Amino acid sequence: MEHAIEDEGMHYEGTCIRPPSEAFSILLQVTLGCSHNKCTFCGTYKDKRFRIKDDSIIMSDILFASKYMKRQDRVFLMDGDALIIPHKRLMWILDQIREHLPWVKRVGAYANAKSIRMKSPEELIELRQKGLSILYLGVETGDEVLLKRIRKGASSQNLIKMGRKVREAGIKLSVTVLLGIGGREGSLRHAKATGEILSGMDPNYVGALTVMLIPGTPLYRESKEGKFELPSQEELLLELREMVANTNLSRGLFFSNHASNYLPIRARLPKGKQQALDEIDSALRGDVGLRPEWMRAL
């Protein structure tokens, strides 16, 4: 295999996103876009048709990182759903990372219910043994009706099952949920159901983001047509409170430190649940300042 293009730099294409916790990771773009790409609220990958990148490009990027990124000890596999890569090919990528970036302590990737379902429990264990130690799963809501409305492509029970499958393979699970996705009318129903699905999955981490209306998405059009209305600041705080109150984790971290949120909280559950609820109550009383609108972003 030729590696002459390695010194051109990393081969990033289009909009690239990663979880907040991967801010200082080596970002290795092994796929383009998202294999599902139907969620009504998401506009991230609309400019990309999903494909797996050529092995020569992936190898070139790994070799570039081996020369110039020796201070970064984590790798994050982009784009939207790297776990969908066929097992043997994904194992090959992890082998190259281990060989050429031996100082890397953690490899992470986005996943969805479909890609987890396509991997057997034994394959997930093999991936973990090769260095894949955390998967990020966008759950968004536990409300069954809402899951269909936002075209998530999975039921709440299926999401619980897939989340458990990841945990049972010894891979850490970080779940993302969306405040506000139920609109004003379904806010508290969404919050309660989401707390219940999180309790059923028992992830290591829960990251709560607040939905933001992105021009060009179906949800944005629904908003313009008066079919969807974002909850107010106070309603979003009440939603967050309801969600935390209904979330029971054996030993998980619940946080809302993403830039889209009005109130950043960080709580280790179950121990820190009451403190988190007290903090939200303080914000509802006006005793705690909220993030100003101009500072909020995706």
Q: What is the pLDDT of residues 140-159, one digit of tens each?
A: 999 999 999 999 999 999 99
What is the share, in percent, of the chain residues with pLDDT greater than 70? 97
Residue 1, pLDDT score: 42
Average pLDDT, the chain: 92
pLDDT of residue 125 exceeding 70, the answer is yes
**Which domain covers residue 200, as residue numbers?**
4-284
Q: Which CATH number characterizes residue 29's domain?
A: 3.20.20.70
Task: State pTM to two decimals.
Answer: 0.92
- Let me know: does 240 contact 208? Beta carbons within 8 Å: yes
Whether 291 is in a domain gets the answer no
pLDDT of residue 298 exceeding 70, the answer is no
* CB burial string 199-219: b at 16+ within 10 A, e below: bbbbbbbbbbbbbbbeeebbb
Whether 164 is in a domain gets the answer yes
The number of folded domains in the chain is 1
- Let me know: does 210 contact 180? Beta carbons within 8 Å: yes
Whether 296 is in a domain gets the answer no
pLDDT of residue 106 exceeding 90, the answer is yes
Q: Any bridge partners for residue 77, and if so which?
A: 28, 109
Whether 94 is in a domain gets the answer yes
Q: From the CB of residue 47, how many other CB atoms can be counted at a distance below 10 Å?
A: 12
Whether 116 is in a domain gets the answer yes
